[in-house]
Every structure is written in C-alpha cells, then in structure tokens.
Amino acid sequence: MTGSIEITHAQAAALAQLAETAGALAIHQLGGEAGDVYATPHGSAIGYRVAADGTISEIGETLPAA
C-alpha cells in the first residue's frame, strides 16, 4: 500500500545525506509516531529512524528493503 509521508526540512536534509551514503532508500512512517520517518537502504536489513529534528538513529535489523 502506498500513501503520503510528511517530513520536515530537517528530515529531508537527513534523508538526502543518508541516501548519499547508503543509496536508494525505502521510507515509511507509522501513524501516531510523532512524525518519525523510518528508512531502510535497498538490499539491506538495517534500518534507521529519522526524527523530526533530523537526528538519524540506527534501529538495527528490520525487514529487508526490496
């Protein structure tokens, strides 16, 4: 299922930085999660949380991105 994801300017900059180092990203957002965005580099099972202020935190192993 596809849907829209709302991100802050700080998240956009952080995701661009992550994509520059990790390549293409699968991005999703969970409802009720205070705007956090989750990103997994394609071909990887290691994911990241990007907070509204742009802080990137590794969340460890998750479902692999296609």
Contact 15, 8 (CB under 8 A): no
**What is the per-residue pLDDT across 39-63, written as a single tens digit (0 to 9) for each?**
999 988 889 999 999 999 999 887 6
Residues 6+ apart with CB under 8 A from 62: 38, 40, 45, 46, 47
Domain count, the chain: 1
* 2, part of any domain: no
**What is the per-residue pLDDT across 16-40, written as a single tens digit (0 to 9) for each?**
999 999 999 999 887 755 689 999 9
* 23, part of any domain: yes
* Residue 39 belongs to domain spanning: 9-61
* 43, part of any domain: yes
* 1, part of any domain: no
Q: Is 0.95 topped by the overall pTM?
A: no
